[in-house]
Amino acid sequence: MTSSSDRLRETVHAEAFHWGAETALSYHGAAASHMDQQWKTLIQPILAYHPIDYSRTIDFAAGYGRNTRKLLEAGAAHVTMVDVNPECVAHLETHFPRDRTSAVLNDGAGLVGLDTSAFTFLYTFDAMVHFDLEIVISYIPEFARVLKPGAHAFVHHSNYAANPGGDFRQNPHWRNFMSAAIFKHIAVRSGFDVIQQETFSWGEPDIDCITVLHRNG
């Protein structure tokens, strides 16, 4: 009988490595070309509503660092860039200043190696929209663990609740099964206050959501 931890590892290996070696240059290069506009029109207007402390920031699922670049421009004193793909981590290590960033390879389900209550902000954009529900459930308590009490998290996730149990690659824009309400439930149970949720279109009406979290304590 397959254990829950074995099933989670299987899901990570089935879903988490589509943005690594084979597609890294084509995908991350194309995505980077839209970053400035997305930051200006979608991301920054939401961040501006909240007293974000950028001093010790995590860029979660950092890819090739297009979001890291914007976080540094926003004033982040240090950004810890986390990704599950070794190719991405190798790229990050060679393309960003060592005095203001560090790159961490994680296991696809947690943040082992990052200190508890050590970070002031966690940010992720255009990554968790593809994550399976089980993976999201695994990560959110880890987000709460590594953040200081009073810290914020900015999480871009799927709001696509059709095709439950299906292959996410069959869904529009590879959005995995998730909704704003389900994500809120997971976050609250993990020790967060949900202080803002904004759904928006990404090729399909209201297919995505940005949730801003506040760490209790």
CA atoms of 2 and 8, how far apart (whole Å): 10
pLDDT (tens digit per residue) in 190-211: 999 999 999 999 999 999 999 9
Mean pLDDT of 122-139: 96
DSSP characters over 115-177: PTT-EEEEEE-SSGGG--HHHHHHHHHHHHHHEEEEEEEEEEEE-B-SSTTS-GGGSGGGPPB
Which distant-in-sequence residues (6+ apart) come within 8 Å of 100 by Cβ?
Answer: 72, 76, 77, 78, 79
In this prediction, residue 19 has a pLDDT band, given cuts at 50, 70 and 90, of: very low
Beta bridge partners of 102: 80
Query: Which of 187, 158, 182, 194 is CA-nearest to residue 50?
Result: 194
CA atoms of 81 and 57, how far apart (whole Å): 9
Mean pLDDT of 133-137: 96
Statement: residue 98 has pLDDT above 60:
yes
Statement: residue 188 has pLDDT above 90:
yes
CA atoms of 38 and 178, how far apart (whole Å): 22
Statement: residue 18 has pLDDT above 80:
no
In this prediction, residue 32 has a pLDDT band, given cuts at 50, 70 and 90, of: confident
The tokens of 166 are what? 């299906």
| CATH code for the structural domain at 4-215 | 3.40.50.150
pTM of this structure:
0.91
Amino acid 183: pLDDT: 98
CA atoms of 53 and 155, how far apart (whole Å): 16
Statement: residue 43 has pLDDT above 60:
yes
Mean pLDDT over the full length of the chain:
91
pLDDT (tens digit per residue) in 139-184: 999 999 999 999 999 999 999 999 999 999 999 999 999 999 999 9
pLDDT (tens digit per residue) in 63-79: 999 999 999 999 999 99
Which distant-in-sequence residues (6+ apart) come within 8 Å of 54 by Cβ?
Answer: 71, 74, 75, 76, 77, 120, 121
Amino acid 29: pLDDT: 65
Task: Give 14 or 38, the one with higher predicted confidence.
Answer: 38
Domain extents in the chain: 4-215
Amino acid 176: pLDDT: 96
